[in-house]
Amino acid sequence: MIIENLAYVETIDNEKLQQFMGKVLTDFGGAASAVLVYIGDKLRLYKAMADFGKPMTSKELANRTGTSERYIREWLANQAAGGYLVYDSNSQRYTLPVEHAQALVNENSPAYIAGGFQVMMSLFRDEPKFLDVFKTGKGIAWGDHDKDLFEGTERFFRPGYAANLVSSWIPALDNGKVEQNLKREVGLKVADIGCGHGISTILMAKAYPNCKFYGFDNHPSSIEYAKKRAKEEGLDEDRIQFEVASSTNYSAPKKDA
């Protein structure tokens, strides 16, 4: 193929073009399927399949989740085509492999990634805001994003924090000296700046009871969530404290705190 204009003549490499078109089509499929993975998470379709523990038909899944069989049938077909589910054409039943359930259902698994799809959905919803900042050069405050970003971020990162923060990440700091201080020193004060929903702050407060932890974030709703979560975990304000503040303007703890 040859493209001509007044400035130049360029030969198009058809093989490269076809390779690129293949990539684009793959991205199309992934983007469309991401919405359906989000739906499977929100409607607890994956969980229903994991709890059932054996292959299911579209009717069985619809009945167990209170959804429309017609739409569930299409959802299952998409998920099987994308490799998320396994389809048996003889029985016309679908299976969620146990390995896939670790990523899509088991919130305590380090492989759990359902929150990532929630983050992706928030980005699509915020598209008008992105268009505006590309034109103006302004930023978007964290709190101005769609709420799925806050919830999805917590769900996406929490498994990694739970599996690694106290067991391997903190012990690796400064050849273990940071953890030694956290365990040994009574009254040590630790600030978690940009704490979000406070997951990492709470994990550290539970692991190192001799210290007091302070979580700062400029998003009021996240701080309220963190306070509620800390109470649920049995941590009162003598162990952990959350406050709305920016990374450059937060209150230092009092000496007798």
Domains of the chain: 2-106 (1.10.10.10), 174-257 (3.40.50.150)
pTM of the model: 0.82
- Name the nearest CA neighbour of 190 among 173, 178, 172, 175: 178
Averaged pLDDT for residues 175-191: 90
Q: Is the model's pLDDT at 62 over the cut of 80?
A: yes
Q: How confident is the model at residue 10 (pLDDT cuts 50, 70, 90)?
A: confident
The residue that leads in pLDDT, 256 or 51, is 51
Q: What is the pLDDT of residues 91-146, one digit of tens each?
A: 999 999 999 999 999 999 999 999 999 999 999 999 999 999 999 999 999 999 99
pLDDT score at 257: 43
- Closest among 238, 206, 209, 240 to 226, alpha carbons compared: 240
In contact, 235 and 193? CB cutoff 8 Å:
no
Smallest CA-to-CA distance from 142 within 242, 249, 223 is with 223
**Tokens 């230092």 label which residue?**
252
**Helix, strand and coil in the chain, % to nearest 5:** 55, 10, 30
| Amino acid (1-letter code) at residue 100 | H
Residues with Cβ within 8 Å of residue 179, at least 6 apart in sequence: 170, 171, 173
* Confidence at residue 187, expressed as pLDDT on a 0 to 100 scale: 79
CB 159 within 8 A of CB 181: no
Count of Cβ atoms closer than 10 Å to residue 119 Cβ: 20
3-state secondary structure at position 193: strand
- What pLDDT does residue 248 have? 80
Look over the chain and give the mean of its residue pLDDT values, rounded to a whole number: 92
Report the amino acid identity of residue 155.
R
Each residue's pLDDT tens digit, 191-242:
999 999 999 999 999 999 999 999 999 999 999 999 999 999 999 999 999 9
